[in-house]
Amino acid sequence: MNDGKIAAFGILCVLLVAGAAVFLPGQHAGPQSASSITAVVTGSETTATYTQGHGTIVDSPACNGSAETYGNMTFSVSPCVSYGFPSAFVRNATLDTPQVLPFIKTAYEYHLVYFAHSQTNWDLMYAVLNVTGNQVVTGNYTTGYQVSYVGNELLNVTVFRVTFQHFDVTHVSAYALPDRNESVLYTPQQVQAIGLALSDSKVASLMVGPHYYAEFVGSSGNATNAVSYVVQLYQVDGTVIVGAFVDLSLNSVTSSFSQQRGSGECWPGGIVVTDPWGETGFGCTA
């Protein structure tokens, strides 16, 4: 993203640092630690400010862009625009490449935070990816958890369209982002619901692989008529979610389920692609 004039590409649906390491086509470079990142940006810029340009869906004062800063990049993001890859070809050319894959293949999560075309050369595109490296969880559900997300980076990817369906990554900058930390605490009733879920044999059989923690405890039903407790157990730094419904009297588990954690992006045409595990689903409104 080194062109001072860019046009943001907006679509209607997205489900949803001071230094940079630069990787050129063909290099198989993995994520860099903060200590190994050097201050290099394509061209002579070390700090750049970008404006949104085109892409606003609604022309009103409420759609004025707000300044967002990622790494050493600051640009305007409109609340009326969602950012996404314009086609499967551009997405694959950005993500499924030797330059980008080492950063996202084993990442806990990644998502697109900005996409734009150069106004001076529409074949030149810029994608900004926020990458969460790994999740670390300590503690337990009775006394509380400390959840940390480490190895986080921001990728600034330049993509060039060679032909109609041929795109090349010509530049990648990787910016180290700080760790993110949070505490998770539960009430005595929620602790009891978690304990019942963990002691249930069906729930235990669904917990494939090691190390789960209680990510969420709530209630099903509506605000005036709760039906049961809902316990969600997440695999630490993994993709599996195991859920359990516990009766309100806190006597037993009434049902359970298992699913895969995923985030999704809507493409034009209504196709949903989930990241970072490459599964495809449907449900987006074109």
Q: Is the pLDDT of residue 272 over 60?
A: no
Q: Give residue-wise pLDDT tens across range 172-200.
A: 999 888 899 999 999 999 999 999 999 99
Q: CA dist 239 to 23, 60, 152, 258, Å? A: 29, 40, 18, 11
**Residue 249 placed within a domain:** yes
Beta carbons within 8 Å of 95's beta carbon, 6+ residues apart: 101, 104, 275
**Residue 270 placed within a domain:** no
- Cβ atoms within 10 Å of 81's Cβ, excluding its own: 23
Q: Give residue-wise pLDDT tens across range 15-64.
A: 223 334 433 333 323 333 222 222 222 222 222 222 232 222 233 455 66
pLDDT in the model for residue 64: 64
**CA–CA separation, 68 vs 127, rounded Å?**
15
pLDDT in the model for residue 73: 62
Q: Tell whether 110 and 53 lie within a shared domain.
A: yes
Average pLDDT (83-101) is 85
CA atoms within 13 A on the CB side of 109: 15
Q: Tell whether 91 and 115 lie within a shared domain.
A: yes
Q: Which residue has the tokens 């045409």?
A: 269
- The alpha carbon of residue 223 and the mean position of all alpha carbons in its chain are separated, in whole angstroms, by 30
- Cβ atoms within 10 Å of 229's Cβ, excluding its own: 24
Q: Tell whether 176 and 221 lie within a shared domain.
A: no
Query: What one-character DSSP code corresponds to residue 134?
Result: E
pLDDT band at 133 (very low <50, low <70, confident <90, very high): very high
Residue type, 231: V
**Residue 271 placed within a domain:** no
**Residue 193 placed within a domain:** yes
**CA–CA separation, 93 vs 166, rounded Å?**
8
> What CATH number does residue 230 fall under?
3.10.450.40
Report the mean per-residue pLDDT for the chain.
72
Query: What one-character DSSP code corresponds to residue 269?
Result: T
Q: Tell whether 247 and 162 lie within a shared domain.
A: no
Average pLDDT (245-262) is 92
Q: Tell whether 196 and 178 lie within a shared domain.
A: no
Q: Tell whether 157 and 208 lie within a shared domain.
A: no
Query: What one-character DSSP code corresponds to residue 215?
Result: E
**Residue 223 placed within a domain:** yes
Q: How far apart are the first and last CA of the chain?
A: 28
**Residue 88 placed within a domain:** yes
50 is in which domain, residue-wise? 6-135+149-182
Query: How many domains in the chain?
Result: 2
Average pLDDT (242-267) is 85
Q: Tell whether 68 and 177 lie within a shared domain.
A: yes
**Cβ 232 vs Cβ 246: under 8 Å:** no
**Residue 284 placed within a domain:** no
pTM: 0.69
**Residue 144 placed within a domain:** no
